[in-house]
């Protein structure tokens, strides 16, 4: 007869209703020339993210603040930027804003654009020496950029509020220790990661 060593219990949602919460959804994009099957997977992904967020909101807290990587504007101007840079997630974010969430500036424009510049330089570098120098500049500006994002969230996410952050999976943002992070990972995300056109 086997012995029961222990039982893991699912935490009660009530435990998470107080304190600051951040629902983190990885950004997934489809390019204009992406295969139809991939575009459909991306659309399904954002639908599933919406369902996951609605579930989290119902159990532990309604989204009050929205943060999106590469956006340095708040309010309507920020929402307009999202519509231009990520049309697949825009309807979801617009819906949350219509329900009372506030679009927040997430990035410092100068740090973000410098990060893009150094990233682009890394794509065309030809020598190891240049690669090492440019990599150091890129790491330095990326650290400053991610620190800024963490600071923006820390300064704008109120006590007992929930926020949603849409950001690339490879980010290095170190969140304040009093913010509970809830990773939004719909089933279709694994298929998207494994996609080979």
Q: What is the per-residue pLDDT across 54-110, written as a single tens digit (0 to 9) for each?
A: 999 999 999 999 999 999 999 999 999 999 999 899 999 999 999 999 999 999 999
The predicted model gives 8-28 an average pLDDT of 79
Q: How confident is the model at residue 30 (pLDDT cuts 50, 70, 90)?
A: confident
Task: Report residue 13's pLDDT band, with 50, 70 and 90 as the boundaries.
Answer: low
Residue 2 lies in a domain: no
Q: How confident is the model at residue 2 (pLDDT cuts 50, 70, 90)?
A: low
Q: pLDDT tens for residues 121-164?
A: 999 999 999 999 999 999 999 999 999 999 999 999 999 999 99
9 belongs to a structural domain: no
Answer whether residue 148 is part of any domain. Answer: no
Query: Residue 149 falls within a domain, yes or no?
Result: no
What pLDDT is stored for residue 12 in this prediction?
63
Which pLDDT score is estimated for 7?
53
Q: Confirm whether 36 is domain-assigned.
A: yes
Give the model's pLDDT for residue 196: 67
Nearest residue to 89 (alpha-carbon basis) of 164, 22, 152, 5: 164
pLDDT at 17: 72
Give percent helix, percent strand, percent coil of the chain, each to the nearest 5: 50, 15, 35
Please give the residue range of the domain that contains residue 43: 19-107+159-193
pLDDT level of residue 113 (50, 70, 90 thresholds): very high
Report yes or no: 146 and 5 within 8 Å, Cβ to Cβ. Answer: no
Q: How many domains does the chain have?
A: 1
Say if CB 184 and CB 166 are below 8 A apart.
Answer: no
Decide if 20 contacts 160 (C-beta within 8 A): yes
Asked if residue 127 is part of any domain, the answer here is: no
The answer, yes or no, to whether residue 3 has pLDDT greater than 60, is: no
Query: Does residue 132 lie in a domain region?
Result: no
On whether residue 137 sits in a domain, the answer given is: no
pLDDT band at 31 (very low <50, low <70, confident <90, very high): confident
Give the containing element (helix H, strand E) for 75: helix 75-85
């Amino acid at each position: 007869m086997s012995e029961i060593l222990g039982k893991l219990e699912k935490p009660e949602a009530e435990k998470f209703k107080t304190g600051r919460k951040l629902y983190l959804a990885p950004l997934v994009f489809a390019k204009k020339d992406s295969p139809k099957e991939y575009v459909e997977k991306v659309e399904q992904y954002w639908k599933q993210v919406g369902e996951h967020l609605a579930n989290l909101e119902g159990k532990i807290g309604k989204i009050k603040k929205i943060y999106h990587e590469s956006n340095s504007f708040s309010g309507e101007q920020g929402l307009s930027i999202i519509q231009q840079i990520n049309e697949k997630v825009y309807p979801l974010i617009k819906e949350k804003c219509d329900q009372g969430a506030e679009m927040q500036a997430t990035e410092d424009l100068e740090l973000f654009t410098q990060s893009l510049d150094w990233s682009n330089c890394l794509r065309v570098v030809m020598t190891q020496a240049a690669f090492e120098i440019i990599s150091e500049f890129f790491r330095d500006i990326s650290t400053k950029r991610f620190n800024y994002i963490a600071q923006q969230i820390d300064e704008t996410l109120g006590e007992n509020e929930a926020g949603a952050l849409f950001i690339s999976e490879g980010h290095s943002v170190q969140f304040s220790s009093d913010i509970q992070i809830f990773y939004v990972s719909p089933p279709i995300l694994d298929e998207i990661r494994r996609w080979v056109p």
